[in-house]
Amino acid sequence: MRPSFSLGIEEEYQTVDPETRDLRSHIATEMLAEGKLRLEERVKAEMHQSVIEVGTRVCKNIQEAQEDLFDLRRNMIGLAEKHGLVLVAGATHPFADWRVQEIYPDPRYAQVVEDLQLVARANLIFGLHVHVGIEDREAAIRIMNSLRYFLPHILALSTNSPFWLGMETGYKSYRAKVFENFPRTNLPDSFSSYSEFENYVNLLIKTNSIDNAKKIWWDVRPHPFFDTIEVRICDIPLRAQETVAIAALIQATARKLWDLHSRNQDFRQYSRALLMENKFRAVRYGLDGKMIDFGKQCEVPARDLIAEYLAFVDDTLDELGSRNEIGYIRTMMEQGSGADRQLKVFRDTGSLRAVVDYMASETKAGL
């Protein structure tokens, strides 16, 4: 059965005070209630009250996903302004302090805080999650195994969190370092079958480690309730157009790997230990670093590997209708990721408040 390769995109936004440029939460709760009235299930609360999550509908192609995502961003920017706030797309806030942030009153989040304590409270981060419809669960596991290789490349493109607690961290995705304090994060192992994955989940439930598979927070996972693979490794990018390009690339990768799978071929499998080396390089250096080409057993500039990656998926783009959207990835490589651009503003101005202002203007750009 050929998968649908449908798309769903989730983004997490910051709600910021226009005067102090710090995160604001109490008004954000009212804003969330109004957002739910207007946009229904497409708007959700997150654990910290200053985080607003939106999710597109199930979209049959990238153009539908873009239209829905742009509409959601426009609506949330308007709602934020109506409530005297500014909406910002950044994977960490440059100087907000997680210790003074309020937790959203919900039994599910209360349980996460009870289980994970300070690690949960400190998890003041903002991500991008992309779902691709792959209805055959066995095919989904095989594709997930192979997709893990490309996740560091995808993360490098999305990096957008160079600051934490008012400090320059030296990382392009400090969000990734914060989140790996949670259990069941980072890249997963490979699984030989869907039943092996199910056995893993069932053992964790049976031993009271988790109550359901949503508490598995890997960088990619078979979604427990939808027939999708969910890629969770990305920082939320500044611009909606960057999100669309990354979503299109993830969809094209799944399609290419399914083509190989359907011809009884496979993309070469590498161990998690090796793949984690490339993830660290993406987290630390983003697009400016080098990654390991495991086939050649040498370092290669990240941009060169991403150019090779684009060539690898190229033969899927016309059928998916995403050539134009994926073309923007070349622009992203020229302009630098959100982290690169945030750092440039900070170098030019010496002001983290100026960085927040820049992030707010980029959040609106192109809508």
CA dist 299 and 283 (Å) reads 16
Tokens 């829905």: give the residue: 68
Closest CA to 77 of 123, 160, 13, 125: 13
Q: Classify 117 in phi/psi space as left (phi over 0), alpha (psi -120 to 50) or beta.
A: left
Tell me the backbone φ, ψ of residue 356, rounded to 5 degrees.
Answer: -60, -45
With a cut of 70, which residues of the chain have pLDDT below it? 26-29, 47
- Residue 222: DSSP 8-state: E
Q: Which domains are assigned to the chain? A: 7-364 (3.30.590.20)
Neighbours of 206 (CB within 10 A): 8
Residue 178's identity, in one-letter code, is V
Q: What is the pLDDT of residue 179?
A: 95
Going 246 to 298 to 188 to 145, the CA torsion angle's sign is positive
Q: What is the pLDDT of residue 26?
A: 65
Identify whether the C-beta of residue 93 lies closer than 8 Å to the C-beta of residue 25.
Answer: no
Tell me whether strands 127-133 and 7-16 are parallel, antiparallel or unpaired. Answer: antiparallel
- For residue 202, how far is the Cα from the chain centroid? 26
Which segments of the chain does DSSP mark as H helices, in order? 26-39, 62-82, 107-116, 118-121, 137-147, 151-158, 174-179, 194-206, 240-262, 272-285, 302-313, 317-320, 323-335, 338-349, 352-364
pTM for the model stands at: 0.96
3-state helix, strand, coil in the chain (%, to 5): 55, 15, 30
Tell me the backbone φ, ψ of residue 81, rounded to 5 degrees.
Answer: -65, -40
Residue 61's identity, in one-letter code, is N
Q: Residue 330 to residues 202, 291, 304, 325, 337: CA-CA distances in angstroms?
A: 43, 18, 11, 10, 11
Closest CA to 267 of 277, 253, 278, 280: 253
